Amino acid sequence: MGEETTQAREIEMTRDDLNAEIRKEVQSALREGLSNEKTEDHLRGLVREILGAEQADKVAETRDKAKAAWDALPGAEQLRSFKRSVLGGDVAQERLADNDPKTGRPAIGRGLYFAEYVMHHTRLGGFGGVLRMAKSDDGNMSPGLRAIIRQLTPDTIAGGGAFVPDVLAADFINFLYARTLLRALGSPMVLDISAGNLTIPRGGNSTAVSWIGTTDTIPNTDPTFEQVTLTAKKLGGRVRMSNDLVRRADQNSVAIVRNDLMRIMALAEDIAGIRGDGTANQPTGIRFEAGVTVTGSAGTTLANKVTDLLGAQQRLHEGNVPLDEPAWLMSVRTEFGLKQTLTSDEAFFFLPEMAGGTLLGDPFGSTTQIPTNLGGGSDESEITYYETTQLMIGETLRMEVREAEADDDFARDLRTVRGIHEVDFRLRNPEAAEVINAVLY
Whether residue 360 has pLDDT greater than 80 = yes
Say what angle helices 15-32 and 110-124 make with each other, to 10 degrees: 30
Output 253 or 78, whichever has higher pLDDT. 253
Q: Say what percent of the chain tops pLDDT 90.
A: 50
Q: What is the pLDDT of residue 406?
A: 83
* 372 has a pLDDT exceeding 90: yes
Q: Which residue has the higher pLDDT, 224 or 155?
A: 224
Sheet architecture: strand order including 233-242: 189-192, 391-404, 414-427, 233-242
DSSP state string for 282-318: PPB-GGGSTT-EEEE---SSHHHHHHHHHHHHHHHHH
Residue 88 DSSP code = I
Main-chain dihedrals φ then ψ at residue 438, nearest 5 degrees: 55, 35
Q: Give the pLDDT confidence score for residue 314 in this predicted structure.
A: 97
Instruction: Kindly list the domain boundaries of the chain, sorted by start residue.
Output: 2-163, 189-439
Q: Cα(352)–Cα(363) distance, rounded to whole angstroms?
A: 14
pLDDT in the model for residue 397: 76
* Domain 189-439: which CATH number of 3.40.50.1110, 3.20.20.70, 3.40.630.30, 3.30.2400.10: 3.30.2400.10
pLDDT tens digit string along 16-25?
443 444 445 4
Sign of the torsion angle spanned by Cα atoms 287, 289, 290, 291? negative
Instruction: Assess contact for 34 and 63: CB atoms under 8 A.
Output: no
User: What is the pLDDT at residue 114?
Assistant: 58
Confidence of residue 133 (pLDDT cuts 50, 70, 90): confident
The pLDDT score that the predictor gives to residue 243 is 86
pLDDT tops 50 at residue 50: no
Mean pLDDT of the chain: 78
Q: What percent of the chain is predicted at pLDDT more than 70?
A: 63
pLDDT at 102 over 70: no
Per residue in 392-430, pLDDT (tens digit) is: 999 997 788 888 888 888 888 888 999 999 999 999 999
pTM of structure = 0.65
